Amino acid sequence: MLPQEESDDRQKVTFKLPSSLKANLKIRAAELGVDIQDAVATAMDEWGAASPEGVASVDTAGAPPFATWLTDAMITRFKDECSSRGIPYVQGLAQAVTRWLDAHPSPRHRPLERNTRRIIVCNQKGGVGKTAVTSGLGGALAEDKDRALAAGGAFPGAAEVARLNALLQKTDEKPDAESEALVDADGSYEAPELRVLMVDYDPQGHLSKQLGVKQLPAAGPSLAKFMARQASGDIRDLIVPIEDDAFGGRLDLLPSCQDAFLLDVMISTARNRQATLERALEPLEEHYDVIVVDCPPSLGMAMDAAIYYGRHRDGEREGESGILIVVQAEDSSADAFSMLVEQIDDGMTDWRIEATYLGLVVNLYDARDGYVVTSSLDEWHSLGEPRVIGVIPRRKEQREAARARRPLLAYDPSCPQSRVMRQIVKEIS
């Protein structure tokens, strides 16, 4: 609300504002029952009080005149702030209005009682197994209840993982039947049978390839093109179902396209580029209970957009959506983890959002690799937050599943890796 002493002596002032922003401002103000001139004044004040760092430039080419009513003090503050930032008034107003629209979403945007869960699987270090975890997690979320029960219906907890690795240390041979049959001693598991969309957000396309799905052709529509608003039509036309009885028609994939190598360039001039992934995937949310995003090994704008997409939304249960970080028990993973956390924390500050760390998954763990590996696992556990929610042993089944072009839980639902995937689902449910 504006200060009372500034509310009665306004004068008409004309700036410029892109037509799309003007239209959105008019609609949003009407939806929220706010006078447009009050919305503009609030937007200017909040923009002026915020740090200019991390504010994206807005395309203002061809912006038509825009008239509003402001006090002399408001006008002076706004113009002084534009001058201090070295930007034209049209750019300052466009940034202020954009920021206000982001901070005041449409009440019709989404029913608050229901949100599609969004799980962002990431680490800027390549080769840690993000794709394997995405595929395994997606399969575990969609898995048929009866099939999960037939596979053992349970999963290895921390004690069982330690026991498995103790067995592995004793011999170079494959673990015996006892270690294959490890189960959680203190609880049962019931598969959630959710509708799941896995998004191959990595231009390398490993998730698509491992599931036997061709990458989208570079000349056609793709997720990157929808993000950059270079594609028309319905993004649902790109979805490929994972046809396996294990998932009852509940598991789908949005394949990768090599044009994603240029994604940072494609969205660099977009308005609210951190929201580009959300704008592209939003039409799909009503069709899925969970969307799992397999991120590229990058700290660029594509990762910014993924972080923003996984943020906590109004009306959403705490921990329902968020960031799942895949690491290995080795020093280079710790270095990459630190850089990723810094990017996530900076994004939360810059965009004024909250993003939940769902947990750490330590992948490809084998205690036979010695002290460096075992001590690294201890260090991951000692972090406390984010906590370790799964330790996936290094076994051949995941590689065999990828070679067979099948999801892990369809290829071998009872192997220790599959059981850890179910453990992760239970931890984040």
Considering only CA atoms, which of 296, 298, 301 is closest in space to residue 269? 301
Residue 140 · residue 292 · CB < 8 Å: no
Q: Which CATH number fits domain 4-103: 3.40.50, 3.30.1490, 1.10.1220, 1.10.10?
A: 1.10.1220
Per DSSP bridges, beta strands 240-241 and 388-393 are: unpaired
The span from the first CA to the last CA of the chain, in angstroms, equals 40
Cβ neighbours of residue 183 closer than 8 Å, sequence gap 6 or more: 152, 154, 155, 156, 160, 419
Residue 269 · residue 59 · CB < 8 Å: yes
Tokens read off for 150: 């037939």
Tokens read off for 19: 């037509």
pTM: 0.68
Residue 103 · residue 39 · CB < 8 Å: no
117-428 CATH: 3.40.50.300
Residue 157 · residue 186 · CB < 8 Å: yes
Structural domain boundaries in the chain: 4-103, 117-428
Residue 376: C-alpha distances to residues 98, 124, 329 (Å)? 44, 18, 5
Residue 274 · residue 310 · CB < 8 Å: no
Judged on CB neighbours under 10 Å (0-12, 13-18, 19+), 185 is exposed
Q: How far apart are CA 205 and CA 369, in angstroms?
A: 30
Buried b (16+ CB within 10 A) or exposed e, 52-63: eeebbebebeeb
Q: What is the pLDDT along the chain (429 residues), one digit of tens a residue?
A: 344 444 458 899 999 998 888 888 987 888 788 899 999 999 999 999 888 887 788 888 888 999 999 999 999 999 999 999 999 999 999 999 999 988 888 765 444 345 799 999 998 777 788 999 999 999 999 998 887 777 755 545 445 555 554 544 443 434 433 333 333 434 467 888 999 999 999 989 999 999 999 999 988 999 999 999 998 889 999 999 998 888 988 999 999 998 888 888 888 888 888 999 999 999 999 899 999 999 988 888 999 999 999 999 988 888 899 999 999 888 777 778 889 999 999 999 999 999 999 999 998 888 888 888 888 888 888 888 889 999 998 888 988 998 999 999 999 998 989 999 998 999 998
Task: Tell me which DSSP letter residue 107 carries.
Answer: T
